[in-house]
A = this chain, B = another copy of it.
Amino acid sequence: MQPGQPLRIGIFLFEECEELDWAGPWEVLAYWAKNFPDDRVEVFTLARSLEQIRCAKGLRVLPDHSWETAPPIDVLVFPGGAGTRRQLGDELLRGWVQAIAATGALMTSVCTGALVFADSGLLHGRPATTHWSTLDLLGQLDPTVELRPDDRFVDTGDVITAAGVSAGIDMALHLVRRLHSEERAKEVKRGIQYDPQPPV
């Protein structure tokens, strides 16, 4: 992050990305950005192109930016979803993920977004987590990953991985705390009334 520049958070969208994987962090981070303008945070969605994205459960979203039009990214949020599978081994995507990481951006994943990070070499020798159903696959993609099945998210400094789907909300609140303060994270939590009471 350069002095005088806003903190730019890009949320990556792709075909069959899981809706809550990105919508949870979006809400937390965009609530922060909108309600605390003096913090100078910008949140936007981006995708390979500007075409509409059809998410894993069918929701259709229009990305704010493409790879070409996106401003520099300080924090990347990479969601999971069924669409991550066909991204494994995609050299173009690997190159883009690695290029963003090489700029010093904070790389964060939700759910099976961790698979793409592993496939791009970002998790080598690190602890990490993913959706509970793909922990084995994560270990196969990179056997040096120390799997953390019981962690809601794993912060290794420049890479953060979160567990499945709804864990992105917790991870994003952690981001607000880490990038600003515990007080701010509590204000955002209060704003979105995040006092979960699962009825089952």
Q: How far is the CB of A186 from chain B (nearest CB, A)?
A: 5
The CA of A131 and the CA of B58, in the complex, are separated in Å by: 28
Interface membership of A173, Cβ < 8 A: yes
Q: Which of A79-104 contact B (CB under 8 A)?
A: none
Count, chain A residues at interface, CB 8 A: 51
- B27–A165 CB distance below 8 A: yes
The CA of A111 and the CA of B182, in the complex, are separated in Å by: 25
Interface residues of chain A: helix, strand, loop or mixed (majority): mixed
Q: How many copies does the complex hold?
A: 2
- A23–B30 CB distance below 8 A: no
> Interface digits, A50-67 against B, CB 8 Å rule (1 contact, 0 not)?
001000111111101000
Interface residues of chain A, those whose CB is within 8 Å of chain B, are 18-20, 23-24, 26-27, 30-31, 33-34, 43-45, 52, 56-62, 64, 111, 131-132, 152, 163-167, 169-170, 173-174, 177, 182, 185-186, 189, 191-200
